């Protein structure tokens, strides 16, 4: 097996927050099945907080574990706080990722950010931390 | 938990009979075959016997066998060694699009060094058209290499037909028979080839053992320089135990081939049936009938291979995948892509290599365990969700 | 009849402790280290441990170890792989005149491909002068390869001094430490080298095991193309049992080196004394003190090596010779010739490689059996007859 | 060991006719220690027959066995008969020689021929079978 940490294995085998939120307040989709991984994040916002986060992921063990970890890290956070989640924080929470799987942790953070952006766009609001990066940057960042 | 090893395409276990004959050469019979004393004699004699056993398996002559340390080494030696020896005559090489990287990348290395390379396509089953090969032969073509059986999709190529088609051109013809030798009948004369690669760990012999058969009289530029071992074609102290084990595995493969083939193709058919009937949107890859008897390969749509491997492993089941995520380079199998399978579907590659240790219970176990794994991953998959919306909702 | 193996320079036996750790990887732990399941995990973990053990023996880092199938392969990979990777900077290579053919002929192959080769001489002890190496470095020099210890005459080269002398030039420095590693202290940092070759069957590890240590960050063009094994530097399914055995042998060598060296140098000195005092016109070859602790080599005048080997073998004694008759090419050892020994005297080459299994009784036995063999052959020798006439009659 | 026949081993281990004939009627020396093998043949002629043949050889096991066999084959033969001994006859009597040792069987026959030539030169006689080849040819033949 890939040399995954126990934490990755746990989050892969028993993923948290899998699924779709039917009436999501924001949806973010990143990746591409051609490249191997694709993630869709759904968020439900209450007040300024992420009341619920769910995901669907097509991809490897790391991609699933990352999605699961990001969703768990995000739930309960304010939107501003959620936007501070970085790929390296995700990797660290997962007790490390194999080198050639780093890009999965990027994808997770990107998908969440995209869902928040979707929410912001729909609401026509500005959120601190969101304007700093263009969408294109997000797709490409650190990968 | 039940343990079911179905990754015999990656490597087989060694048969105990082969281990037994190796043990003395690991311990008490430790001489160097090149040494001029009785310790050396014993080692040399053991190698001579193995050379006969391996030659017999493929209907070649013992002096035509060059022992190597792996199948990959045999392929590199064949491609680079034959092409370089023929370079005076021309610089054009032909290989198929589904060759193993030890052939394909060796050919690419030659390309960088000034050779010209034609890569002939395959059809959706992974088959190379003999006419397509013949058509591409030019005045300056010196070498054709078309594999005998593909390790990823199990397809058996029409090597004998290609051999016939190109015979009169005098172009050298190599076949990578690493996935086939010891598993199905391989006869260098019947195939009409000039060189053939094989590897012990594909037919219950030891790791670290391989061989290149090269037709008598053919020049070959060695990959490595050094001593006079293997007739000057492959230097370095011989790995006596591995060679002895390879010889024994060859003998056993020859002896047991019909019964192994019968048993394995029966189990394989059961596995293929079981998977195709219990899992929707599963696709058999490779040729439906012209395939290795122990080989069953699929693409399971909407999900990814590594994730399946991990969940199967958690149930004690070992298989392989050609998905991008399972490769170091994160690229989907060039074999599946060459067969026209989309990158998206190639991601769901799953590959079963059955072995002589498997039984019906193993197959039942897989057919029981795989469908819920597929369901679990599909429940997570945005592709599956989208598909369901489009087609059912 | 007593059996006395004194050909440990050709190959050592494997220590039982090394065989023991290999056995599980020959039998039950048969996974492919590249496979993504627990069978693969077990194999990969075993290789990781071996990599640490081998690195520890030479004070390198585990990720700097590239496992190969033999010492010869490690040398070929170093010479061809480093030279080709550096070819953009220059094309000049320096080796010594006493290198093993896996270095010397590899360098000659590069010469044919457009590289330039300088072969630096050795003195009568087989020593390369560090100044001579430094003097030959040019602007376009890219690689120097000087062996650590010579397998034929036992001489230990001043590698560390050469390393110091050429350090500031930035030229890559490889050493063939196949005869020395595991037998004397080898420290890649102390030696100041960029690459180092070693082989398991020179220090009680298995045949079919070798390694190239290459300093982190150095580019190396692989000899073979194929899979991603060994960080893309050496493809082919890993020979797990051999690698595991090599690792264990490295660990044991590190642990037991002082005691082995003491024991072996004592036996060696006894053998050298015994032969030089019981046989006239016998010449110790190589350096009298700066030599491998288990190595004793001679030229016995007026007679020929193969004949001695055969008569020694008939007494149960195994040794080697560098005589022309013992070589396939019927050429006297290039090492002895490079040391200024005449072809005639080189014919009487005899070479003892002592091992940890030897004891005083073995040495006594050789000292008892060798003189009458020498006498018998001298009685037949026209050269001896002529000498006796000229000097006594 | 080299793959020698039992006959070669026997003639090497227990060589016949080793030594020098002090008052030899003819002496033939071939080979060169530089190349690895050197043989000296001594003959004693009585009437027209080889009454005794002895040899000294510096060389490998095959060279010694060949010398020994040639001497044995020659003793008792007439000079003309002895000259008909060919390298391949020697190799055959020895039940074969490894390929890279064929040259040893050449050397043996050559050394005998040279000793006979020496005898003929000393006596000023001609012997049938001797004149056909020049000395240079002998050294080089089949090697
Ligand atoms: C110094 C040296 N280099 C290289 C080799 C080649 O080793 P192998 O033939 O096992 O590949 C030897 C073998 O004895 C050696 O002594
Ligand atoms: C067709 C084919 N060629 C070459 C190889 C390479 O074998 P190895 O990696 O053992 O050298 C394989 C391995 O499975 C194969 O299936």
Q: What is the pLDDT along chain B (393 residues), one digit of tens a residue?
A: 999 999 999 999 999 999 999 999 999 999 999 999 999 999 999 999 999 999 999 999 999 999 999 999 999 999 999 999 999 999 999 999 999 999 999 999 999 999 999 999 999 999 999 999 999 999 999 999 999 999 999 999 999 999 999 999 999 999 999 999 999 999 999 999 999 999 999 999 999 999 999 999 999 999 999 999 999 999 999 999 999 999 999 999 999 999 999 999 999 999 999 999 999 999 999 999 999 999 999 999 999 999 999 999 999 999 999 988 887 777 889 999 999 999 999 999 999 999 999 999 999 999 999 999 999 999 999 999 999 999 875
D37–C325 CB contact, under 8 Å:
yes
Nearest to B306 among A15, A19, A60 (CB): A60
User: Atom of ligand 1 at shortest distance to CA of C70?
Assistant: 11
Q: How far apart are CA A70 and CA A30, in angstroms?
A: 14
Whether residue B276 contacts residue B299, with contact meaning beta carbons closer than 8 Å, is answered with no
DSSP string, B296-320: EEEEETTS-HHHHHHHHHHTTEE-B
Q: How far apart are CA C270 and CA C285, in angstroms?
A: 16
User: Atom of ligand 1 at shortest distance to CA of C74?
Assistant: 11
For C171, phi and psi rounded to 5 degrees? -70, 140
Instruction: Give the strands of the sheet with C210-214, arranged side by side.
Output: C65-68, C210-214, C195-199, C172-176, C141-145, C92-96, C116-120
Pick from C228, C334, C241, C347: which is nearest to C20 by CA? C241
pLDDT greater than 70 at residue C162: yes
Tokens, residue C238: 């890993």
Q: What is the CATH number of the domain that holds D97?
A: 3.90.1010.10
Cα–Cα separations (whole angstroms), residue B193 to A27, B158, B166, B176, C139: 58, 12, 10, 10, 48
- Does chain A touch chain D (at least 3 C-beta pairs within 8 Å)? no
pLDDT greater than 50 at residue A137: no
- The answer to whether C309 contacts chain D (CB < 8 Å) is yes
How many CB pairs below 8 A link B and C?
229
Instruction: Give the strands of the sheet with D49-58, arranged side by side.
Output: D26-32, D37-46, D49-58
* Mutation choice for B interface testing from C8, C36, C44, C313 by most B CBs within 10 A: C36
pLDDT at position C326: 82
Q: How far apart are CA C2 and CA C313, in angstroms?
A: 11
pLDDT at position B291: 98
Cα–Cα separations (whole angstroms), residue C230 to C67, C225, C303: 7, 12, 48
Please check whether residue D140 lies inside any domain of the structure: no
pLDDT at position D131: 72
pLDDT at position A141: 38
Tokens, residue B291: 């395939």
CA angle B282, B284, B289 (to 5 degrees): 155
* Chain A residues within 8 A of C41 when measuring between CB atoms: 1
Helices then strands, each counted (H, E), chain A: 6, 3
pLDDT at position D1: 63
Residues 6+ away with beta carbon under 8 Å from D121: none
Residues 6+ away with beta carbon under 8 Å from C217: none
pLDDT at position C324: 82
Please check whether residue D70 lies inside any domain of the structure: yes
Whether residue B219 contacts residue B83, with contact meaning beta carbons closer than 8 Å, is answered with no
* Chain B residues within 8 A of A58 when measuring between CB atoms: 302-304, 347, 380-384
pLDDT greater than 60 at residue D17: yes
Burial zone of C114 (CB within 10 Å; 0-12 exposed, 13-18 middle, 19+ buried):
exposed
Please check whether residue A75 lies inside any domain of the structure: yes
Residue identified by tokens 């033939």 is D28
Q: How far apart are CA B247 and CA B49, in angstroms?
A: 7
C278-315 confidence digits (pLDDT tens): 999 999 999 999 999 999 999 999 999 999 999 999 99
Q: How far apart are CA B379 and CA C138, in angstroms?
A: 66
Chain B: closest CA distance from residue A15 (Å)? 9
Q: Buried b / exposed e across C317-350, counting CB within 10 Å, b at 16+? A: bbbbbbbbbbbeebbbbbbbbbbebebbbbbbbb
Pick from C320, C245, C367: which is nearest to C9 by CA? C320
How many CB pairs below 8 A link C and D?
75
- Residue B271: CB atoms within 10 A of its CB come to 22
The sign of the torsion formed by the CA atoms of C289, C290, C293, C299 equals: negative
Pick from B46, B331, B87: which is nearest to B220 by CA? B87
ipTM: 0.94
For C385, phi and psi rounded to 5 degrees? -60, -45
The sign of the torsion formed by the CA atoms of D97, D101, D105, D106 equals: positive
- The answer to whether C40 contacts chain A (CB < 8 Å) is yes
- Per-domain residue ranges of chain C: 4-10+257-392, 16-253
Nearest CA in chain C to A61: C36
pLDDT greater than 70 at residue C186: yes
Mean pLDDT, residues A26-52 taken together: 93
Chain D: closest CA distance from residue C372 (Å)? 13
3-state DSSP assignment of residue D77: coil
Nearest CA in chain C to D1: C310
pLDDT at position C245: 98
Beta strands in D1-143 (DSSP E): 26-32, 37-46, 49-58
Pocket of ligand 1 (CB under 6 A): B 227, 236-237; C 70-72, 75, 100, 102, 147, 151, 176, 178-179, 199
Q: Right CATH number for C4-10+257-392 from 3.90.76.10, 3.40.800.10, 3.40.50.300, 3.90.1150.10?
A: 3.90.1150.10
Nearest to C225 among B22, B109, B240 (CB): B109
Please check whether residue A92 lies inside any domain of the structure: yes
Tokens, residue C61: 């880092």
Number of domains into which chain A is organized: 1
Nearest to D36 among C313, C347, C385 (CB): C347
pLDDT greater than 80 at residue C145: yes
Burial zone of B276 (CB within 10 Å; 0-12 exposed, 13-18 middle, 19+ buried):
middle
* Mutation choice for B interface testing from C226, C249, C314, C353 by most B CBs within 10 A: C226
For B231, phi and psi rounded to 5 degrees? 60, 30
- The answer to whether D22 contacts chain C (CB < 8 Å) is no
Distance B72 CA to ligand 2 centre (A): 6
pLDDT-derived band at D132, boundaries 50, 70, 90 = low
A76-98 confidence digits (pLDDT tens): 999 999 999 999 999 999 999 99
Whether residue C214 contacts residue C78, with contact meaning beta carbons closer than 8 Å, is answered with yes
pLDDT greater than 70 at residue D136: no
Chain C: closest CA distance from residue A3 (Å)? 8
pLDDT at position C308: 97
State which of B102, B107, B242 you would mutate to test the pocket of ligand 2, scoring each by most atoms of that ligand within 8 A of its C-beta: B102
State which of B69, B70, B147, B151 you would mutate to test the pocket of ligand 2, scoring each by most atoms of that ligand within 8 A of its C-beta: B151
As a whole-number percent, the residues of chain C with pLDDT over 70 amount to: 100
CATH topology of domain C16-253: 3.40.640
pLDDT-derived band at D141, boundaries 50, 70, 90 = very low
- The answer to whether B323 contacts chain A (CB < 8 Å) is yes
A112-127 confidence digits (pLDDT tens): 999 999 999 999 999 9
Q: Which helix (H) or strand (E) holds A20?
A: none
3-state DSSP assignment of residue A90: helix
Burial zone of C233 (CB within 10 Å; 0-12 exposed, 13-18 middle, 19+ buried):
buried
Distance D95 CA to ligand 1 centre (A): 34
Cα–Cα separations (whole angstroms), residue C111 to B91, C20, C146: 21, 44, 17
* Chain C residues within 8 A of D33 when measuring between CB atoms: 343-344, 347, 383
pLDDT-derived band at C363, boundaries 50, 70, 90 = very high
- The answer to whether B228 contacts chain D (CB < 8 Å) is no
Cα within 13 Å of Cα(B196), Cβ side = 33
Q: Which chains reach chain A with 3 or more Cβ–Cβ distances below 8 angstroms? A: B, C
Instruction: Give the strands of the sheet with A26-32, arranged side by side.
Output: A26-32, A37-46, A49-58
pLDDT greater than 80 at residue D83: yes
Q: How far apart are CA A92 and CA A85, in angstroms?
A: 11
Pocket of ligand 2 (CB under 6 A): B 70-72, 75, 100, 102, 147, 151, 176, 178-179, 199; C 227, 236-237
Please check whether residue D134 lies inside any domain of the structure: no
The sign of the torsion formed by the CA atoms of A70, A71, A75, A78 equals: positive
Helix axes of C360-380 and C240-278: crossing angle, nearest 10 degrees: 60
Whether residue B96 contacts residue B122, with contact meaning beta carbons closer than 8 Å, is answered with yes
Q: Which residues of C are catalytic?
A: 325
Mean pLDDT of chain C: 97
pLDDT greater than 60 at residue D137: no
pTM of the model: 0.96
- The answer to whether B330 contacts chain C (CB < 8 Å) is no
- The answer to whether B289 contacts chain C (CB < 8 Å) is no
Beta strands in C10-139 (DSSP E): 65-68, 92-96, 116-120
Matching fold, domains B4-10+257-392 and B16-253: no
- Among residues B325, B337, B367, B385, which one is catalytic? B325
Structural domain harbouring D84: 6-120
């Amino acid at each position: 097996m890939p040399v995954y940490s126990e934490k990755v294995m746990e989050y892969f085998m028993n993923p948290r927050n899998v699924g779709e939120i039917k009436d999501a307040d924001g949806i973010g989709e990143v990746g591409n099945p051609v490249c191997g991984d694709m993630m869709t994040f759904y968020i439900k916002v209450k007040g300024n907080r992420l009341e619920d986060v769910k995901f669907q992921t097509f991809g490897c063990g790391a991609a699933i574990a990352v999605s699961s970890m990001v969703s768990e890290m995000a739930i309960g956070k304010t939107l501003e706080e959620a936007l501070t989640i970085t790929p390296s924080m995700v990797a660290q929470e997962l007790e490390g990722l194999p080198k050639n799987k780093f890009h999965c942790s990027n994808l997770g953070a990107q998908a969440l950010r995209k869902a928040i952006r979707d929410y912001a766009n729909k609401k026509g609001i500005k959120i601190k931390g969101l304007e700093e990066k263009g969408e294109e940057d997000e797709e490409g960042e650190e990968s | 938990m039940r343990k079911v090893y179905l990754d015999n395409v990656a490597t087989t276990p060694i048969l105990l009979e082969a281990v037994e004959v190796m043990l003395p050469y690991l311990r008490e019979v430790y001489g160097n075959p090149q040494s001029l004393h009785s310790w050396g004699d014993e080692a040399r004699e053991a190698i001579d016997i193995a050379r006969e056993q391996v030659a017999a398996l493929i209907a070649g002559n013992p002096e035509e066998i060059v022992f190597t340390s792996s199948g990959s080494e045999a392929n590199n030696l064949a491609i680079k060694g034959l092409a370089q020896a023929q370079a005076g005559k021309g610089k054009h090489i032909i290989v198929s699009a589904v060759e193993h990287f030890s052939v394909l990348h060796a050919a690419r290395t030659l390309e960088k060094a000034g050779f010209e390379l034609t890569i002939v396509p395959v059809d959706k089953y992974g088959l190379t058209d003999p006419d397509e090969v013949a058509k591409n032969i030019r005045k300056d073509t010196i070498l054709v290499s078309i594999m005998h059986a593909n390790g990823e999709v199990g397809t058996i190529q029409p090597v004998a037909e290609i051999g016939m088609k190109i015979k009169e051109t005098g172009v050298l013809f190599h076949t990578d028979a690493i996935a086939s030798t010891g598993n199905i009948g391989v006869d260098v004369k019947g195939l009409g080839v000039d060189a053939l690669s094989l590897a012990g760990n594909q037919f219950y012999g030891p790791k670290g053992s391989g061989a290149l058969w090269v037709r008598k009289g053919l020049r070959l530029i060695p990959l490595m320089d050094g001593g006079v071992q293997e007739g000057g074609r492959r230097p370095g102290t011989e790995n006596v135990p591995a060679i002895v084990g390879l010889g024994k595995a060859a003998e056993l493969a020859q002896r047991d081939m019909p019964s192994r083939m019968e048993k394995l193709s029966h189990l394989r058919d059961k596995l293929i049936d079981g998977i195709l009937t219990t899992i929707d949107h599963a696709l058999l890859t490779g040729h439906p009938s012209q395939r290795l008897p122990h080989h069953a390969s699929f693409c399971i749509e909407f999900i990814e291979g590594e994730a399946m491997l991990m969940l199967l492993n958690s149930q004690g089941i070992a298989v392989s995948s050609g998905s991008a995520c399972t490769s170091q380079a994160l690229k989907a199998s060039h074999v599946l892509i060459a067969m026209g399978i989309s990158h998206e579907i190639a991601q769901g590659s799953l590959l079963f290599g059955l072995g002589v240790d498997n039984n019906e219970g193993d197959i039942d176990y897989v057919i029981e365990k795989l469908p819920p794994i597929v369901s679990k991953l599909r429940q997570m998959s945005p592709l599956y969700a989208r598909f369901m919306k489009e087609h059912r909702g």
